[in-house]
Chains A and B, each alone.
Chain A
Amino acid sequence: AQTVTQSQPEMSVQEAETVTLSCTYDTSESDYYLFWYKQPPSRQMILVIRQEAYKQQNATENRFSVNFQKAAKSFSLKISDSQLGDAAMYFCAYRSFYNNNDMRFGAGTRLTVKP
Chain B
Amino acid sequence: EAGVTQSPTHLIKTRGQQVTLRCSPISGHTSVYWYQQALGLGLQFLLWYDEGEERNRGNFPPRFSGRQFPNYSSELNVNALELEDSALYLCASSLTLGQYSNQPQHFGDGTRLSIL
A77 CA / B99 CA spacing, docked (Å): 27
The answer to whether B92 and A45 have CB atoms under 8 Å apart is yes
A91 within 8 Å of B by Cβ?
yes
How many residues from B make CB contacts under 8 Å with A?
A: 30
The answer to whether B96 and A47 have CB atoms under 8 Å apart is no
Q: A103-B45, A108-B42 are in contact. Are A98 and B99 (CB under 8 A)?
A: yes
Interface string of B103-116 (1 = CB under 8 A from A): 11111111000000
How many residues from A make CB contacts under 8 Å with B?
A: 26
Contact partners of B55 in chain A: CB under 8 A: 101
The answer to whether A42 and B104 have CB atoms under 8 Å apart is no
Q: A45-B92, A98-B99 are in contact. Are A103 and B42 (CB under 8 A)?
A: no
Contact pick for B102, options A4, A33, A37, CB 8 Å: A33
Q: Point out residues on B near A: beta carbons under 8 Å.
A: 3, 31, 33, 35, 40-43, 45, 48, 50, 55-56, 88, 90, 92, 94, 96, 99-110
Q: Point out residues on A near B: beta carbons under 8 Å.
A: 4, 6, 33, 35, 37, 42-47, 50, 52, 91, 97-108
* A–B Cβ pairs within 8 angstroms, 19 of them: A6-B42, A43-B109, A43-B110, A91-B42, A98-B99, A99-B99, A100-B101, A100-B103, A101-B31, A101-B94, A101-B96, A103-B45, A104-B45, A105-B35, A105-B42, A105-B43, A106-B42, A107-B41, A108-B41
